[in-house]
Structure 1
Amino acid sequence: MQSQDQITRQNFDDWMVPVFSPAAFIPVRGEGSRVWDQQGKEYIDFAGGIAVNSLGHAHPVVVDALTEQAKKLWHVSNIYTNEPVLRLAKNLVDNTFADKVFFCNSGAEANEAALKLARKVGLKIGGEHKNQIVSFKNSFHGRTLFTVTAGGQPKYSQDFAPLPKGIEHIEYNDLAAAKSAITENTCAVIVEPIQGEGGVVPASLEFLQGLREYCTEKGAVLIFDEVQTGVGRTGSLYAYMNTGVTPDILTSAKALGGGFPIGAMLTTDHFANMYSVGDHGTTYGGNPLASAVANAVFEFVNTDTVLQDVKNRHKQFVRGLEEINKSTSIFEEIRGQGLLLGAVLKSEFTGQAGRLMNIASEFGLLVLVAGPNVIRFAPALVISEEEVEEGLIRFAKAVQQFLNAS
């Protein structure tokens, strides 16, 4: 048997189903917003596990919560409830619009629960024809068959037909299209306040306010997918709090567990009570271990200090990226909120975001892409001013090499 010390990147190709194409190096240790690979090379982490590692790597708050709960109770099934999950539910209810929470293991599962609930609501209040779902082009809602169909990127769903029916995709930020699409037969509209995978594209306030108005008028459920924007990512606890718009259902995951798998669907009593015992379920969702970790993360993030730091680091990122752009003219636009930012490559570099991401890793920096033309930054919410500064220095060097090689 091969020892742990002999593990190499080649082993991925040998043993793993090829649905990913990982980097050539393997991270083995992290602390705060720094990561080290098998060779001991250090990286500053501007990727955050794709907006997951809200407190960075090995944060004492998360480690302590995990180890303390691990000594007590890991899993009991949903035949029983448990103390950590009830504490977490109370925190979410007390700090959002919601009255009730359903816990699962991922963002896709949270969106699955939300879409199923919306269909049940439609059936109960409007009959069998009120089952249509409106979503948006370039959106992303997960990888189950239902959520990948709800997502507005055909490349993720086209090979898995036949797909669930009754889902229409319209242009994001197009109020006229939304007004036309939302009818008496619409049971739900699902929208990301900022399209993350779709390029870090914020919704306009007018667009979200219009969706709220049209959903209320037609009796449709408004679902905010906050899997990527939630739990402090935008500088508010949830992005809907920046908009003046309150959804009927909100989904949360990623940063909620700080790296431990957990997802949540939040809604009001009115809609929650349309689900009955046995309508939906989960084996692992709401287990004590995940709930204890998520509760520690949530309570740490939900403070004025952390949320203000996110806003401060946002300004630092934007200033730094604009400085890089002054000397290189590589970006068309810098957009996003809080610590979810997208740097859009100019048209002459179309399709080359992945190449720039790989060059950045050579300079000891982890970044993301959001489609083929956008570099995405989603670091820990607690990343320091010094780490942002050093990371931007490394990114500037990567940009220069990228341009020299173009």
Structure 2
Amino acid sequence: MKTYVVGGAVRDALLGLPVQDRDHVVIGATPEQMLELGYTPVGKDFPVFLHPKTHEEYALARTERKTEKGYKGFVFHTDPSVTLEQDLIRRDLTINAIARSDDGELIDPFGGQRDLQNRVFRHVSAAFEEDPVRILRLARFAARFSEEPHAFTVAPETMELMKRMVEAGEVDALVAERVWQEISRGLMEKKPSRMFEMLRECGALQRLMPELNRLWGVPQPEKFHPEIDTGVHVMLVVDYAAEQGYPLSVRFAALMHDLGKGTTDPAIWPRHHGHEEPGVDLVKQLCERLRVPTDCRDLAIMTARDHGNVGRAMEMRPATLQDMLERNDAFRKPERFLAMLSAARCDCFGRSGLVDIQFPQQNYLTQILHAALSVNAGEVAQQFLGQPQKIAEAVRIARIDAIRAASRVE
């Protein structure tokens, strides 16, 4: 029985990055032997055990056979006779197929160290095409390992393989929860745009998020968007959200904010008047299909509907501002409204070539929100005891007055 550290822990150590978790592969052992040594079984599809002291994962070396489309269509085989190389060859990328023995020796049968040095994502074997999740994982790695000038690129043969997988319908067999899991993790990486660009290049984005994919090639007014292309703009927006360290919900809202521009009549391009309403419908459609969590969905809907109004906020009347706050449930959930302002800020700064960009609307609307929240609805209600039909309008008027005072609008 021999154990080796494998996968991301070896890769990250060779890159000089912090190692978060260590996975191990066990050669020459049976499940019964692992139990006798005190390991706790946790694997569902194949034998994985937790170390009795460190609680790190130890998986028995295995081979696998594809039986149907999708990432669950596999039959796994574990046996003491399975070699380390047989286990490593089923892994996704060469940089993840390096093992380290207890004495520090590196076992690298597929050139992973060379590809690490050259910053290349390369599939280990034809087994890559049997699991469509690997396309998403590779795209997510592209978002993570994105530091210029040392950003990773995809080997041409691997990109061609991914394109064939998409054409064969493998991506269509992915379950929504797994797609969202990888997309959400990619959004939290250093440069999320690289994930979507990679998915777009191989054709997977069109299958998974066609509402987003259609934004490339849609022009915008050059005066406000020197990058012109809406898809390019959205990538700048989501990267800005990542640079600011915003949470997942804000990053997803930034990604979704302009979906409606892909549906406007080309006759009115590059302007997109009225794109917000169809954008809301597209966000709902995408979120339902991918089973996006409620917090991300709701903030994305708000942002798609009102990011333009946020931009025009300093021109709005107090009553219109109050209505926007109420429409977005800001009196009950002020933090979510503030999160929408952060997403709108990303929209403002996600542009190339503009200098001296400012976004006073964020502070302005924050001030307006606090003024409206300062109205004590209970005290207002006391003035209309026995007249419940008048209370809501009285509270609304009081909030408008507070907003007027805060905004100095006469």
Band of TM-score, shorter chain: under 0.3
Flag the structure with higher helix content. 2
Flag the structure with higher strand content. 1
Give the TM-score normalised by structure 1.
0.26
Tell me: higher relative CO, structure 1 or 2? Use CA pairs within 8 A at least 6 residues apart: 1
Give the TM-score normalised by structure 2.
0.26
